[in-house]
């Protein structure tokens, strides 16, 4: 009797992927980019530690699919960030990895040509280059860490990380977060459950040992120190938003009960806006109002925004793509984004000033 093959029965191919070191050699860190990352991380950590009275806002496209439009966005955002720097730290949302409810385009790293060629090697290098370019503009970047190997390729260029609603309960993602060098926002689950995010913060704060890769792309027992900068992100779910005063108070109580810092970020999009971009300004205004009224647990907000409002399906002929328009979730336009950020700046000026004077 011969041995019957029992492994890799559903694997079509193993194609070569350059190591993190090789990709970094092609797109090396620069001094100005490094300075933006260090400053961005410090600002967010200081906000979480209450050493900085401002709030951070992670704002940008639902996903990056066109580097040129993305950089156009980044240049505009940098000007806005400088304008409102008294009250807010703007972090550009640079999402390359999309967790899908069932199927769909999984992002710029997975399929950079958006034609099912899945050139992850090209996607990873281009993603790294994009992050470098945004950082050189002087903006910190925030991303969702979905693939547990990917941070080895670009983690040095990230200032804030999200663990998404579909993965906050995943041990793999909690382990990975325990080793990330950035603050990590854990989203409540898609059904609205906040406990998974609280458990994720506790888990990620501890050291873990797990299977990963090192910078040479070799399997490694990865041993982490634990990440004390975990916090919750309220994104709504289970058919209802959770940015209202009662939901935020419940989140504060849950954090206190778990002996965790009362740090809450509100995602103005997703189930908090019923996935309708036109509601995002209302959510942001409501949350800014809560801060004005004395709330001190909300440390940040998130906005899904692009140059052009709405979204578009990915056409078979990519030349038909509308410039600056999302190919995933619908976003608010650049003009609306400016208005949202400027209104929030005006609403927060007094309260942030008071916090500053108290310090």
Ligand X SMILES: O=C[C@H](O)[C@H](O)COP(=O)(O)O
Ligand Y SMILES: C=C(OP(=O)(O)O)C(=O)O
Give the residue, chosen from 26, 100, 276, 289, that forms a contact with ligand X under the rule CB under 6 A: 100
270 counts as binding ligand Y under rule CB under 6 A:
yes
Query: Shortest distance, CB of residue 69 to ligand Y, whole angstroms?
Result: 17
Q: 175 in helix, strand or coil? A: helix
Q: Which of residues 132-161 bind ligand X (CB under 6 A)?
A: none
Query: Shortest distance, CB of residue 167 to ligand X, whole angstroms?
Result: 11
Query: Shortest distance, CB of residue 222 to ligand X, whole angstroms?
Result: 26
Q: Which does residue 101 bind out of ligand X, ligand Y, none, counting CB within 5 to 8 angstroms by kind? A: ligand X
Which backbone phi and psi does 201 adopt, to 5 degrees? -60, -45
CA 240 to CA 270: how far, in whole Å?
10
Closest residue to ligand X in the complex (CB): 101
Question: For 2, which DSSP code?
Answer: P
CA distances from 286 to 50, 273, 280, 282 (A): 22, 12, 10, 6
Closest by CA to 128, choosing from 117, 112, 114, is 112
Which backbone phi and psi does 353 adopt, to 5 degrees? -60, -45
CA 339 to CA 342: how far, in whole Å?
5
Contact by Cβ (8 Å): 200, 168: yes
Q: Which of residues 25-64 bind ligand X (CB under 6 A)?
A: 62
Give the residue, chosen from 99, 217, 261, 310, that forms a contact with ligand X under the rule CB under 6 A: 99
Q: Which stretch binds ligand Y (CB under 6 A): 48-56, 161-169, 212-220, 344-352?
A: 161-169
Site for ligand Y (CB under 6 A): how many residues?
10
Query: Shortest distance, CB of residue 265 to ligand X, whole angstroms?
Result: 15
Question: For 58, which DSSP code?
Answer: E
Q: Which of residues 62-81 bind ligand X (CB under 6 A)?
A: 62
Give the residue, chosen from 56, 95, 186, 229, that forms a contact with ligand Y under the rule CB under 6 A: 95
The nearer residue to ligand X, 34 or 336, going by C-beta atoms, is 336
CB atoms within 10 A of CB 289: 13
Contact by Cβ (8 Å): 243, 209: no
Question: For 332, which DSSP code?
Answer: B
Give the residue, chosen from 18, 99, 226, 310, that forms a contact with ligand Y under the rule CB under 6 A: 99
Q: Which does residue 235 bind out of ligand Y, ligand X, none, counting CB within 5 to 8 angstroms by kind? A: ligand Y
165 counts as binding ligand Y under rule CB under 6 A:
yes
Q: Which does residue 284 bind out of ligand X, ligand Y, none, counting CB within 5 to 8 angstroms by kind? A: none
The nearer residue to ligand Y, 133 or 304, going by C-beta atoms, is 304
Q: Which does residue 120 bind out of ligand X, ligand Y, none, counting CB within 5 to 8 angstroms by kind? A: none
Tokens coding 199: 């458990």
The nearer residue to ligand Y, 169 or 345, going by C-beta atoms, is 169
The nearer residue to ligand Y, 174 or 187, going by C-beta atoms, is 187
Tokens coding 11: 């694997």
Q: Which of residues 17-76 bind ligand Y (CB under 6 A)?
A: 62
Question: For 206, which DSSP code?
Answer: S
Q: What is the residue-wise DSSP string for 234-299?
A: E--BTTB---SHHHHHHHHHHHHHTT----EEEESSGGGGTT-GGGHHHHHHHHHHHHHTT--SEE
CA 327 to CA 5: how far, in whole Å?
41
Q: Which does residue 100 bind out of ligand Y, ligand X, none, counting CB within 5 to 8 angstroms by kind? A: ligand X
**β pairing state of 209-213 and 219-223:** antiparallel
Query: Shortest distance, CB of residue 327 to ligand X, whole angstroms?
Result: 10
Give the residue, chosen from 235, 252, 332, 345, that forms a contact with ligand Y under the rule CB under 6 A: 235
Query: Shortest distance, CB of residue 148 to ligand Y, whole angstroms?
Result: 16
Residues interacting with ligand Y, by CB under 6 A? 62, 95, 99, 144, 164-166, 187, 235, 270
């Amino acid at each position: 009797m011969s041995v019957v093959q029992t492994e890799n029965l559903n694997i079509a191919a193993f194609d070569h992927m350059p190591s993190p070191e090789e990709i970094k050699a092609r797109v090396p860190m620069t001094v100005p980019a490094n300075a933006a990352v260090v400053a961005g991380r410090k600002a967010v950590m200081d906000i979480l530690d209450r050493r900085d009275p401002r709030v951070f806002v992670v704002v940008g496209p639902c996903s990056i699919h066109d580097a040129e439009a993305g950089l156009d966005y980044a240049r505009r955002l940098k000007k806005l960030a400088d304008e409102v720097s008294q009250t807010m730290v703007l972090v550009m949302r640079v999402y390359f990895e999309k967790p899908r409810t069932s199927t769909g385009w999984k992002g710029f790293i997975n399929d950079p040509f958006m034609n099912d060629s899945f050139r992850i090697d090209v996607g990873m290098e281009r993603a790294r280059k994009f992050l470098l370019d945004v950082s050189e503009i002087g903006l910190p970047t925030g991303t969702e860490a979905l693939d547990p190997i990917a941070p080895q390729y670009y983690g040095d260029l990230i200032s804030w990380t999200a663990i998404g609603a579909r993965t906050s309960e995943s041990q793999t993602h909690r382990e990975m977060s325990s080793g990330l060098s950035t603050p990590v926002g854990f989203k409540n689950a898609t059904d609205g459950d906040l406990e998974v995010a609280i458990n994720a913060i506790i888990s990620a704060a501890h050291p873990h040992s797990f299977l990963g890769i090192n910078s040479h792309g070799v399997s490694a027992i990865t041993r982490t120190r634990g990440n004390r900068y975990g916090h919750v992100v309220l994104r709504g779910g289970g058919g209802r938003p959770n940015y209202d005063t009662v939901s935020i108070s419940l989140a504060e109580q849950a954090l206190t009960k778990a002996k965790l810092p009362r740090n809450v970020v509100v995602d103005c999009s997703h189930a908090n806006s019923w996935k309708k971009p036109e509601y995002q300004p209302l959510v942001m205004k409501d949350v800014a109002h809560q801060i004005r009224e004395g709330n001190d647990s909300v440390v940040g907000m998130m906005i899904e925004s692009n140059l052009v409002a709405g979204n578009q399906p990915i056409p078979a002929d990519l030349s038909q793509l509308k410039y600056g328009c999302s190919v995933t979730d619908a976003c608010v336009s650049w003009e609306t984004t400016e208005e949202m950020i400027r209104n929030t700046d005006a609403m927060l000026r007094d309260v942030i000033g008071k916090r500053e004077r108290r310090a």
